[in-house]
Amino acid sequence: EPEVTQTPSHQVTQMGQEVILRCVPISNHLYFYWYRQILGQKVEFLVSFYNNEISEKSEIFDDQFSVERPDGSNFTLKIRSTKLEDSAMYFCASSEQGISNQPQHFGDGTRLSIL
Amino acid sequence: AQKVTQAQTEISVVEKEDVTLDCVYETRDTTYYLFWYKQPPSGELVFLIRRNSFDEQNEISGRYSWNFQKSTSSFNFTITASQVVDSAVYFCALSPPEAGTALIFGKGTTLSVSS
């Protein structure tokens, strides 16, 4: 069964450094998303991406964050100048084209630890 | 504003017991989607079900069943004859009907099934 893949599974970064989280969505999916989950808390929406542009973003997704689809398969989340509070599990998801909101299929997540 | 409430933080049952996970939602949309996701100890998010607000029929899939009641804004999830492998955090989520929109998650219910 097709799946969303995320790399790396665990990233450790010094505070203030930039980090790029990578995702390969399911191949025929056209909507892409990033969510984050701070340890023990609920899953929070960051951003959605469609047709090479951001379609929706949350208050969390400030100027520190950016997303990109650098080629036909990858979807990346960049966090500039990381802070301690950016430590979380980051999930990428994708969904099919449709006239309604299709199920979002999630990757296994990248655990980001900021030291 | 949209909101999902999962009032049960943790539930512990013994194998073979039935268990119901509650989900109550708030939305001003007349059309919306409801979802359940499972997060096992390994951390990934697994899609279980999507339900359209116009479809109030209950659904059964093996040992899983879902009870959607629009009158009480609830979308409860029952596991029949629970098994140890059902131990996980279960998230209820809500979204508008438009394709590619964000999922609004509840805080999750941690289910522990002991043998």
The per-residue pLDDT string of chain A (115 residues; one tens digit each, 9 = 90 and over) reads: 779 999 999 999 999 999 999 999 999 899 999 999 999 889 999 999 999 999 999 999 999 999 999 887 899 999 999 999 999 999 999 999 777 788 899 999 999 999 9
B89 pLDDT band (50/70/90 cuts)?
Answer: very high
| C-beta of residue B10 within 8 angstroms of C-beta of residue A78 | no
In this prediction, residue B21 carries a pLDDT of 98
Distance (Å, rounded) from C-alpha B16 to C-alpha A90?
A: 34
Looking at residue B1, its pLDDT comes to 81
Strand runs (DSSP E) across A1-85, as ranges? 5-7, 10-13, 19-24, 31-37, 44-50, 53-57, 65-68, 75-79
**Of the candidates A35, A42, A101, which has its C-beta nearest B95's C-beta?**
A101
Average pLDDT over residues B38-67: 91
Centre a 10 Å sphere on the Cβ of residue B89 and count the other Cβ atoms it contains.
Answer: 22
CB contact B41 to A (< 8 Å): no
What is the rounded distance in angstroms from the CA atom of residue A103 to the CA atom of residue B103?
10
Q: In the predicted model, what is the mean pLDDT of residues B72-91?
A: 97
**Chain A contact for B98, CB < 8 A?**
yes
Q: Is A68 left (phi over 0), alpha (psi -120 to 50) or beta?
A: beta
Please name the member of B35, B102, B104 whose beta carbon is closest to the beta carbon of A103.
B35
Question: What is the structure's pLDDT at B81?
Answer: 97
Nearest to A50 among B50, B100, B103 (CB): B100
Question: What integer is the mean pLDDT of B4-31?
Answer: 96
- Could you give the CA distance from residue A59 to residue B68 in angstroms, rounded to a whole number? 30
**Residue B34 clears pLDDT 80, i.e. is over it:** yes
Give the Cα separation of B39 and B36 in Å (integer): 10
Rounded Cα distance between B23 and B8, Å, is 9
The pLDDT of residue A98: 75
Report the candidate in A85, A86, A48, A82 with the shortest Cα–Cα distance to residue A67: A48
**Chain A contact for B103, CB < 8 A?**
yes
Lowest-pLDDT range, A46-50, A90-94, B16-20, B54-58?
B54-58
Say which residue the tokens 């999916």 belong to.
A29
CA distance B15 to chain A (A): 25
- CA gap B16, B113 in Å, rounded: 9
Put simply, the answer to whether B99 touches A101 (Cβ < 8 Å) is: yes
Rounded Cα distance between B91 and B49, Å, is: 11
Give the angle subtended at the CA of A20 by the CAs of A15 and A24, to the nearest 5°. 150
pLDDT in tens, A30-59: 999 999 999 988 999 999 999 999 999 999
